[in-house]
Structure 1
Amino acid sequence: MKEYKTYLRALEIDDYIKIHKWHEDKKVYSRITGNKFFIAKVRDKEWIESVVLGDPKRMFWAICLKENDEMMGYTSLRDIDWRNRKAAIGGITIGREYQNLGLGLDAFDQVLKYIFNELGFHKLHTKYLESHLVTAHSIKKFGFKKEAILRNHVFKLGKYHNVEIASLLRHEHKTL
């Protein structure tokens, strides 16, 4: 059995402090499909409070290091359709100091196992910037297949970017 370096836990209200820092970090921001907004810490705190209180159509998890219990990122499951057993998996936001260490793959492997094996989902889909080759390469390792390109879909950093949509069926899922 694989020994993971990370683990997942529910987000806690105090996590807003780190999440706000990541939302303000240009390097972290450049890798996600979302747009940049200047948000006060209190708004990120309110957002986390709404996540913690729960919404049956989404789940959020903190990604923590086993060695010291430090939160190093977070991820989510959104647009949950319980009847059809499908959802959108949000990207993994990783703090700058933890990027390019393989920890995102470590966490994503656990997320996918949980979604398919524990929650019993049939299909996941995700969106990511076409220019973010690390994401494209990483999700292929797990069996995701590209379904579409949304041309000039996101305006960020002064230009329009294409967004790719990829999906994964349970029987296609590969573990690392």
Structure 2
Amino acid sequence: MENKIYLRAFEHSDLDLLNSIRNDDTLFSTTTGNKYYISSEHDKKWIEDKIFNNSNQLYLVICCSEKHQPMGYTSANNIDYLNRKAEWGGMVISKDFNSKGMGTEAGYLFLDHLFGELGMNMVYAYVNENNKASYRLSEKYGFTKDGLIRDFVYKQNRFHNAYIFSMLRGEYEKLQLNRNESINSTK
């Protein structure tokens, strides 16, 4: 089965897409991140930082294979190579590509990279308590809900709770086995 999408490093040419996504008010209403007003000049520096200062973080652009068109990005932060764990910083897909299954595929590719290439033993994520889509997606990927963190982030004039999800290497390997069996049974 050919991938509809692929991941690649940030490039300066991604500025318009990334700045548009990072200034989307609807996106920040559902995440655990805070809202900032971000100029394109600020994002030029931000992109450069992601390109050159990536020792404990990884930011990748999600691209549509058919047209080699950037459609969003995903990230891992707080990468700890000694203890082999990383925080999945989330995934953002442009509105033009929502609900086409590409985000799900991008998530699997990213998990493959984190566990397979980077050798992580644990990947964890924080999900805003009110973000039902991210909650369902975390479960779909095979993450375990470890608990609720109260008053995790202050935004929109109040505190918001967040769930913490995690996946261990053994769980990822089981997920991989199940995905491969599913792909083989459809051939």
Structure 1 or 2: more helix by fraction: 2
Sequence identity of aligned pairs in percent?
34
Q: Is 1:166 matched with 2:165?
A: yes
Q: Is 1:114 matched with 2:113?
A: yes
CA contact (8 A) 1:115 1:121 kept: yes
| 1:126-141 → structure 2 map (5 Å cutoff) | 126-141=125-140
Q: Deviation at 1:121?
A: 1.1
Q: Deviation at 1:10?
A: 0.4
Distance (whole Å) between structure 2 residues aligned to residue 146 and residue 6 of structure 1 = 28
Distance (whole Å) between structure 2 residues aligned to residue 80 and residue 137 of structure 1 = 24
Q: Which TM-score applies when normalising by structure 1?
A: 0.93
2:16 is aligned with what amino acid? I
Q: Per-residue displacement from partner, 1:15-62 (whole Å, max 9, x unpaired)? A: 122111112222222232111111211011101101111321111100
Partner residue, 1:31: 30
Distance (whole Å) between structure 2 residues aligned to residue 97 and residue 160 of structure 1 = 31
Structure with greater Cα Rg = 2
Q: Deviation at 1:160?
A: 2.7
1:97 is aligned with what amino acid? D
Partner residue, 1:60: 59
2:29 is aligned with what amino acid? S
Count of matched residue positions in the alignment of Structure 1 and Structure 2: 175
Q: Per-residue displacement from partner, 1:47-98 (whole Å, max 9, x unpaired)? A: 1101111321111100000111111110111111111111111100111121
Long gaps (5+) in structure 1: none
Q: Is 1:17 matched with 2:16?
A: yes
Cα RMSD over matched residues?
1.4
CA contact (8 A) 1:16 1:44 kept: yes
Regions of 4+ moved over 6 Å: none
Partner residue, 2:185: none
More displaced stretch, 7-16 vs 152-161? 152-161
Distance (whole Å) between structure 2 residues aligned to residue 111 and residue 161 of structure 1 = 27
Partner residue, 1:147: 146
CA contact (8 A) 2:76 2:90 kept: no
| 1:32-111 → structure 2 map (5 Å cutoff) | 32-111=31-110
Distance (whole Å) between structure 2 residues aligned to residue 67 and residue 29 of structure 1 = 29
Distance (whole Å) between structure 1 residues aligned to residue 29 and residue 100 of structure 2 = 18
Distance (whole Å) between structure 2 residues aligned to residue 64 and residue 9 of structure 1 = 8
